[in-house]
């Protein structure tokens, strides 16, 4: 009786703890061989000296941007991407033409760290930290003209464009800050069941029930209405033919109703860059935080560097020293499912351009993890914004230094040659009226009983013609309510450590 073939896993990503992967995966694939290839992060081709016989024996591969041909790896069954997005494999013959090879994303591994990035950059803007850091570098103490020059987050509204695992963690953090949450998905989710998320996430995180949004939007006809009511827009959608260029001049005009802050951790090409630069410089939006750009890497002389009120980071929002452990949980479950002949987690749907989830009720990646359940249909797709950090959009070469790059914040006055000066107030933020008492809520509101934080009736409008300005927000910028979510307040302690500007933790360069 012939012995079953032992798995050979090729690691085409630096910083992966090889021995830990080998030890854990051996429990579900006895005798597995785990081999690092030794490539660099931004390589797009296999090393010239790679062992051809090793490639032929490979049954699995962990990679971000490097893939063999079918002829080079005839035994390959499973490709685990290190990214939550997957546009780097679109058009790849190994992906397009070989259904027997399972491609899976790392969706569910990036939510905690990306949510921290989203709110650390948003709050840095709201509290003018980049301006104060500039003052610190030259030893200048700059006082604002007023103690009411800062708008805190309580009562503001965050809109999550793509309510996948990253978006759901962003919603949880937003609620912890006392914000209202609106969700946008490509497809309608009218029932509590359709709003559930069965993807892997750490316990106590995310929004598995879809309970946090007070209102849901979907489809092209509702984009402008969704945008018009926001103070913070978080873009977490994947890049597909339907989402490319989704946010342009017309959408920025819609956001001007409340001068939303735009946070993009999805893909740079979802936003039309020239329109973004114009919106920033014209003050249609209060600012932007960008971990992804189009083009990427952003050229040294690109005008986006010098746009007003922008914070740019080099596609690092998904970096975390816990990333490998979360990824290993997914891979362990997938090797177990391959052994048992079951569908894999996070397998990419070629028609959708992102993954669907499949898991049985008894499935468990680890005692710490929550796992996806088997769906009625594998066509029940999920809008993932998890593309967050490291996907296909990244360049093939390492980022250039940006000594001449510049970050500007609203209200930053030119510094005269003196050590002390008054800071002029920045652009006027919407007035916020806070009731005398808090509304105490011990647990998130169920999906069928949304918490509405803004007064005024909901208004449905037809999609305005392309040559007309979108309607103003149906919600007045003033008369906001304040909410204290007691059960969520402890999440603040988990989400604010990214305020620390330096860290002794090694810097990882995993891409989402």
Please give the sequence-ordered ranges of beta strands (E in DSSP) within 323-419, or none if there are none: 348-349, 354-355
Per the annotation, the verdict on 19 as an active-site residue is no
Domain assignment present for 297: yes
Let me know if 296 is a catalytic residue: yes
State yes or no: is 198 an active-site residue. no
Burial class (CB in 10 A: 0-12, 13-18, 19+), 507: exposed
Q: If you average pLDDT over each of 92-101, 368-377, 481-490, which comes out highest?
A: 92-101
* pLDDT at position 449 over 60: no
Question: Structure tokens of 35?
Answer: 């081999």
pTM of the model: 0.67
**Per-residue pLDDT tens for 387-420?**
444 333 333 222 222 233 333 333 333 333 333 3
Q: Considering the candidates 296, 381, 383, 384, report the single residue annotated as catalytic.
A: 296
Max CA separation in the chain (angstroms): 86
Exposure of 450 by Cβ count < 10 A (0-12 exposed, 13-18 middle, 19+ buried)? middle
Domain shared by 183 and 248, yes or no = yes
Catalytic residue chosen out of the listed positions 175, 267, 286, 326: 267
In this structure, of 176-180, 301-305, 323-327, the range with the lowest mean pLDDT score is 323-327
Boundaries of domain holding 330: 8-109+320-377
511 within a domain of the structure (yes/no): no
**For 281-299, what is the mean pLDDT?**
97
The pLDDT, as a whole number, for residue 22 is 96
Q: Is residue 98 part of a domain?
A: yes
Give me the number of domains the chain comprises. 2
Nearest to 263 by CA among 244, 289, 231: 289
At residue 269, does pLDDT exceed 90?
yes
Please indicate, yes or no, whether residues 186 and 296 belong to a single structural domain of this protein. yes
Residues 367 and 441 in one domain: no
Edge-first strand listing for the sheet containing 310-312? 215-218, 180-185, 157-161, 232-235, 261-264, 287-290, 310-312
The 8-class DSSP code of residue 295 comes to S
Neighbouring-strand partners of residue 262: 233, 288
Do 36 and 90 lie in one domain? The reply is: yes
Asked if residue 510 is part of any domain, the answer here is: no
304 three-state secondary structure: helix
Do 97 and 118 sit in the same domain of this protein?
A: no
Distance CA 505, CA 462 (A): 50
In the predicted structure, residue 452 carries a pLDDT above the cut 80: no
Same domain, 29 and 52: yes
| CATH code of the domain in which 95 resides | 3.40.50.720
Domain contains 136: yes
234 in a structural domain:
yes
Mean pLDDT of 16-32: 96
Question: What are the DSSP calls for 450-491, one per residue?
Answer: ----B-S-----PPPPTTSPPPPPSS-SS-B--EEETTTTTH
Domain-embedded: residue 262: yes
* 341 and 210 together in one domain: no
Residue 504 lies in a domain: no
Contacts of 203 (CB under 8 A, 6+ apart): 368, 369, 370
Whole-angstrom CA distances from 334 to 29, 219, 324, 487 are 10, 33, 15, 34
Question: Which is catalytic among the residues 110, 128, 157, 315?
Answer: 315
240 and 293 share a domain? yes
285-301 average pLDDT score: 97
Alpha-carbon Rg for the chain in angstroms? 23
pLDDT digits (tens, 9 = 90+) for 26-38: 999 999 999 999 8
Residue (of 28, 23, 22, 12) closest to 365 by Cα position: 28
How crowded is residue 28: how many other Cβ atoms within 10 Å of its Cβ? 18
Q: Does one domain contain both 342 and 300?
A: no
Whether residue 268 is found in the same domain as residue 125: yes
Tokens 């190994």 — which residue? 94
| 73 plus 127 within the same structural domain | no
pLDDT of residue 356: 41
Local structure of 103: helix, strand or coil: strand
User: Taking a C-beta distance cutoff of 8 angstroms, is the pair 7, 29 a contact?
Assistant: yes
Q: Tokens standing for 7?
A: 């798995």
pLDDT > 90 in the chain, percent: 59
Lowest mean pLDDT among 229-233, 244-248, 372-376, 502-506: 372-376
pLDDT at 447: 43
Per-residue pLDDT tens over the stretch 123-153:
999 999 999 999 999 999 999 999 999 999 9
The whole-number pLDDT of residue 135 equals: 97
Same domain for 179 and 253 = yes
CA atoms within 13 A on the CB side of 86: 27
């Amino acid at each position: 009786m012939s012995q079953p073939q032992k798995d050979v896993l090729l690691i085409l990503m630096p910083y992966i703890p090889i021995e830990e992967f080998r030890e854990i995966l051996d429990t579900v694939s006895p005798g597995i061989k785990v081999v690092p290839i030794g490539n660099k992060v931004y390589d797009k081709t296999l090393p010239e000296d790679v062992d051809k016989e090793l490639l032929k024996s490979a049954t699995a591969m962990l990679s971000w941007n490097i893939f063999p041909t079918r002829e080079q790896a005839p035994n390959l069954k499973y490709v685990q991407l290190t990214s939550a997005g997957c546009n780097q494999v679109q058009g790849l013959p190994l992906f397009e033409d070989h259904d027997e090879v399972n491609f899976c994303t790392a969706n569910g591994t990036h939510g905690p760290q990306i949510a921290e990035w989203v709110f650390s950059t948003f709050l840095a803007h709201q509290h003018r930290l980049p301006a104060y850091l500039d003052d610190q570098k030259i030893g200048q103490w700059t006082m604002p003209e007023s103690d009411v020059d800062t708008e805190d987050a309580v009562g503001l509204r965050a809109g999550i464009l793509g309510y996948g695992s990253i978006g759901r963690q962003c919603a949880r953090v937003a609620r912890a800050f006392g914000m209202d949450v609106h969700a946008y998905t490509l497809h309608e989710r009218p029932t509590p069941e359709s709003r559930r998320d069965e993807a892997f996430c750490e316990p106590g995180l995310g929004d598995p029930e879809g309970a946090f949004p007070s209102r849901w939007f979907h489809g092209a006809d509702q984009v402008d209405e969704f945008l018009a009511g926001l103070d913070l827009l978080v873009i977490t959608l994947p890049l597909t033919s339907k989402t490319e260029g989704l946010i342009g001049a017309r959408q920025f005009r819609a956001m001007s109703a409340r001068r939303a802050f735009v946070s993009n951790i999805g893909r740079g090409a979802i936003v039309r860059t020239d329109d973004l630069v114009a919106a920033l410089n014209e003050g249609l939006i209060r600012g932007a935080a960008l971990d992804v750009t189009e083009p990427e890497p952003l050229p040294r002389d690109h005008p986006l560097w010098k746009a007003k009120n922008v914070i740019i980071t080099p596609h690092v929002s998904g970096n975390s020293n816990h990333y490998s452990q979360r990824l290993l949980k997914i891979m362990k479950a997938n090797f177990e499912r391959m052994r048992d002949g079951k569908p894999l987690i996070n397998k990419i749907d070629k028609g959708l351009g992102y993954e669907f989830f499949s898991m049985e009720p008894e499935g468990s990646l680890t005692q710490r993890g929550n796992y996806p359940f088997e769906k009625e249909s594998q066509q029940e797709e999920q809008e993932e914004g998890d593309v967050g950090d490291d996907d296909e959009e990244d360049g093939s070469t390492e980022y250039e230094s940006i000594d001449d790059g510049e970050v500007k914040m609203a209200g930053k006055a030119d510094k005269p040659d003196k050590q002390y000066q008054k800071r002029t107030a920045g652009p006027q933020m919407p007035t916020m009226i806070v009731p005398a008492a808090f509304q105490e809520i011990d647990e998130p509101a169920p999906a069928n009983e949304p918490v509405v934080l803004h007064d005024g009736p909901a208004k449905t409008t037809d999609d305005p013609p392309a040559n007309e300005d979108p309607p103003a927000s149906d919600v007045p910028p003033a008369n906001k309510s304040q909410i204290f979510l007691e059960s969520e307040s402890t999440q603040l302690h988990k989400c604010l450590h990214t305020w620390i500007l330096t860290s002794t933790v090694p810097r990882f360069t995993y891409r989402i």
